[in-house]
Structure 1
Amino acid sequence: MHTTKNLPPNLIPALIQAFQMSSSSFSEILNDLKPDLLIYDFFQPWAPKLALSQGVPSVYFATSGATPFSFFYHLYKYGTNFPFPYPEIYLPDHEKVDVRAPVEMVIKDAEDDDFAFGNFKLSSEIVLIKSLLGGADFEGKYIDYLSVLCQKKVVPTGPLVLDNSGDEKDEDEYYYYSEISPWLSAKEQFSTVFICFGSEHFLSGEQILEIAKGLELCEVNFLWAIRLDENVFLPEGFSDRVKKRGLVLQGWVPQAKILAHPSVGGFVSHCGWSSVMESLYFGVPVIAMPIKFDQPINARLVAEAGCGVEVGRDENGRFIGEEVAKAIEKVVMEKSGEDMRFRAKSLSEKMKEEEEQAVDEVADQLLRLCKTNKS
């Protein structure tokens, strides 16, 4: 593996160690290429130091949203002495982590032995972040606060969503056009929920059972994509009971094409940032079931923006089928869903209007940085 995609969480330390072992080769590559600029992400804090030693400016690209970065940066900087200035964003006790605790895996060359936030310190003048350019109604205030915390200009790149929803048929997506698209097209507009938990999260057997229970309770059309490597134990007789309104798929599915389909009215998601961006880009409200990392913060952001709803949990912080059903009904069957779709559609239009402008702004900022360094 060379990315975290499809990588079990227990093997991430091995991936990071492999990255670190490549640092000497990377130094040689820099020396040979003599680039004008280096862009690095979360897992390579050693890369900007090597670049700086060769006079090459570096820019950190934060691929999560500004909201979780600002929340955790605030917690890292101030602890619990000062509350986060935006109370809509919070973590209950069962989700809290100690951001001041040392990273257990060996990370070399992180600034001040600080892996998560040293990346900001090492970035030259600006930080790129995957978010909206003028996201006043979405992430605007969190982008501004992150800039204050890291003392760098935070430059949004736009959503960076690949819209291939209208592409012609290709061999890899034959199943979509032969099975999925005809099935979706037989459903009414906004009547179907899409359920997918991305390429980096593994659902437990208990979570799968509770989602299945919720789908039976709410009686909504659904398309459920389950990973091939997950232990799938659906309730006995589930497939027969839902066969008229449900389609369960195992393996890869073209998420963007599904979200763009007019019959899809909600997206049951773990709220990984790329999935949130894709859902809102296509104007689909999010039914949030966050699991870990930045996902709970993303879920609260979506709810604050009125573009979705978070699934409730029991007293132990576990998802239960009744709450899954209740959240799906709010988005697909009740009046509240119309409001969420309106807000999601408005945000979608803003994203698409700003895409080119955001990329141009990023290019201008990077060009200015290169020219300053050359002079």
Structure 2
Amino acid sequence: MGKSIIKSQDLQFLFDPRTALKASVFFSLKKILKAMDDRKEKLHIAMFPWLAYGHIMPFLQVSKFLAQKGHRISYISTPKNISRLPKLPPNDLSSSNITFIELPFPQNIDGLPPGAESTGEIPVHKVPYLKKAYDMLQYPLTEFLKTSDVNWIIHDFAPHWLPGIATPLGINLIFYSIFNATLFTFLGPPSALLGDYRRSRPEDFTQVPEWIDYPSETAYKLYEMVNHYECMDEDVSDFQRIGLIVQGCQFVILRSSFEFEPDEIRLLAKLYQKPVVPIGLLPPSLISSNQLVKTDEKWEGIKKWLDNKGDKSVFYVALGSEVTLSQEFMHELAFGMEKSNLPFIWVVRNRPLVLEGQKGQDMIPPGFEERVPDRGLVLRDWAPQLQILAHSSVGGFLTHCGWSSIIEALSFGRALILFSGASSDQGLNARLLHSKKVGLEIERNEVDGSFTSDLVAETIRKVMVEPEGEPLRANAWAMREIFGNEEMNNKSLEEFTRFIQEFAP
């Protein structure tokens, strides 16, 4: 459980000349150490993620690790989001130490579709209303905290009001970024986030900021920031939320590692003037995932199709559960995949709320599936992504550059065809991975994000089969030692656990 920290006043009696070092003294010391260990084992930690599936799952991963170490976890979210979480095995130690706390979701929020409790259920321009609803959770959360014995709250970027609730109650705060350090070094210190630095327009985010003290070309494209501005609350921007959260927390944890981002993590601690602790990349467990899909007929069909393809010959295409492209862009992407003349699996999401009535299948060009019957497999809505990426026939991944998807791909050494989903951290991830030479970014117009099918096909072929792509394929394969190294990642979680046990605010 980590070293015990003994304060000088606890041992003062040992140095009292009037006291002999008798057995009773040692018993007293033993009691002190045991009491301190008991306190460590009984930490009560609340988890409070943002209302997005890509956030609630990494929070659950950390919850399970801490629970297995004997800490009590209160995992807090809304009913619909908690119901979507995978059930914990009853014989798992973590299941007995995790309690799921459902906060009632605010009703009748103007602009928010009825029943929507997460970003995956709404278009990007409706996300600001979800943030307003999330902010109203502060009231039931406060009541819960007042009647609990929570020691720590591990929270997301959004609850800018949380320090004002937790500090008077004597509760410590940890800002948990499910993103990497590159995003937050780009955004800068709290002073920049809260307006002391002149970045008020989307155009202002298209240059590398002055505080980056290592070689970098990582910046947003204009269309990416224009898109991101759509999902920000006008009353409290995402930058303000992060700035206030960073100011109010005791320290920051990141879903990253020193092995992957040494310069970025070092700089972030300097910018924040507080501890920044990487907790590893949290690669998902293929064993656990296999248990969920081992009897799934859909996976059996996909596996049979992949088993008939050559080693690393297939590229997998998935743009995440929340990325929305216009029909024009989807068709252009499809034509590029077709022109590559390489086998592929393409997951097409069906999100009628987002596409305003258009079903997922409408986004596929007429006759497309008939033209690629043997080398193209189109899957609708859901696919067992981890199993697909793990298959030896898959060599590349055309991705929207979400951090979780990147981690999954590089944990199996798959080369990346980078196509930014133009939201959140995705544009910066595309530049970062392009610069690290583990993938190539599809060239797009910086103003409107447009692209051509010829460039899509060219980029796919470079990454997958062309001689000039061999270094990319080799670099991506080598990344397994960082992204897929379970022992290394568990070591980071162990160090984080010791940190909170020994932390003295």
Q: Can you list the C-alpha shifts for 1:133-167, whole angstroms capped at 9, x where unaligned? A: x32xx322111112111112211111112122575
- 1:67 equivalenced with 2:192 (yes/no): no
Q: Which amino acid aligns with 1:11?
A: K
Partner of 1:358: 492
Partner of 2:37: none
Displacement after TM superposition at 1:233 (Å): 3.1
- 1:305 equivalenced with 2:433 (yes/no): no
Relative to the length of structure 1, the TM-score reads: 0.89
Point out where structure 1 has 5 or more consecutive residues left out of the alignment: none
Report the count of equivalent residues: 364
Tell me: CA distance 1:98–1:142, structure 2 relative to 1, closer, same or farther (3 Å): farther
DSSP-derived class of the 1:253 partner: coil
DSSP-derived class of the 1:5 partner: helix
Q: Which amino acid aligns with 2:267?
A: Y
CA distance in 2, matches of 1:260, 1:94: 33
Tell me: CA distance 1:2–1:363, structure 2 relative to 1, closer, same or farther (3 Å): farther
CA distance in 1, matches of 2:129, 2:492: 35
Partner of 2:246: 120
Tell me: CA distance 1:242–1:98, structure 2 relative to 1, closer, same or farther (3 Å): closer
Displacement after TM superposition at 1:209 (Å): 0.4
Displacement after TM superposition at 1:78 (Å): 4.4
- 1:276 equivalenced with 2:410 (yes/no): no
Q: Which amino acid aligns with 2:493?
A: V
> After the TM superposition, which parts of structure 1 deviate over 6 Å for at least 4 consecutive aligned residues?
98-101
Whether the 8 Å CA contact 1:265–1:331 is kept in 2: the answer is: no
Q: Can you list the C-alpha shifts for 1:224-256, whole angstroms capped at 9, x where unaligned? A: 001122543322221111111000010111111
Choose from 254, 264, 267 the match for 1:129: 254
Tell me: CA distance 1:3–1:235, structure 2 relative to 1, closer, same or farther (3 Å): closer
DSSP-derived class of the 1:357 partner: helix
Partner of 2:331: 209
- 1:90 equivalenced with 2:182 (yes/no): no
Point out where structure 2 has 5 or more consecutive residues left out of the alignment: 1-115, 199-203, 352-358
Partner of 2:268: 146
CA distance in 2, matches of 1:155, 1:49: 23
Displacement after TM superposition at 1:49 (Å): 2.4
CA distance in 1, matches of 2:303, 2:278: 34
Identify the range of structure 1 (172-181 vs 304-313) with the bigger mean alpha-carbon deviation: 172-181
Higher gyration radius (CA): 2
DSSP-derived class of the 2:335 partner: helix
Identify the range of structure 1 (153-162 vs 79-88) with the bigger mean alpha-carbon deviation: 79-88
Partner of 1:296: 427
CA distance in 2, matches of 1:121, 1:172: 46
CA distance in 1, matches of 2:492, 2:175: 17
Partner of 1:342: 474
Q: Which has the higher contact order (CA 8 A, sep 6+)?
A: 1
Partner of 2:20: none
Tell me: CA distance 1:264–1:90, structure 2 relative to 1, closer, same or farther (3 Å): same
Displacement after TM superposition at 1:273 (Å): 1.2
Partner of 1:324: 456
CA distance in 1, matches of 2:152, 2:364: 50
CA distance in 2, matches of 1:192, 1:83: 41
Q: Which amino acid aligns with 2:371?
A: R
Whether the 8 Å CA contact 1:268–1:288 is kept in 2: the answer is: yes
DSSP-derived class of the 1:127 partner: strand
Displacement after TM superposition at 1:342 (Å): 2.0
What value does the CA root-mean-square deviation take over the aligned residues?
2.7
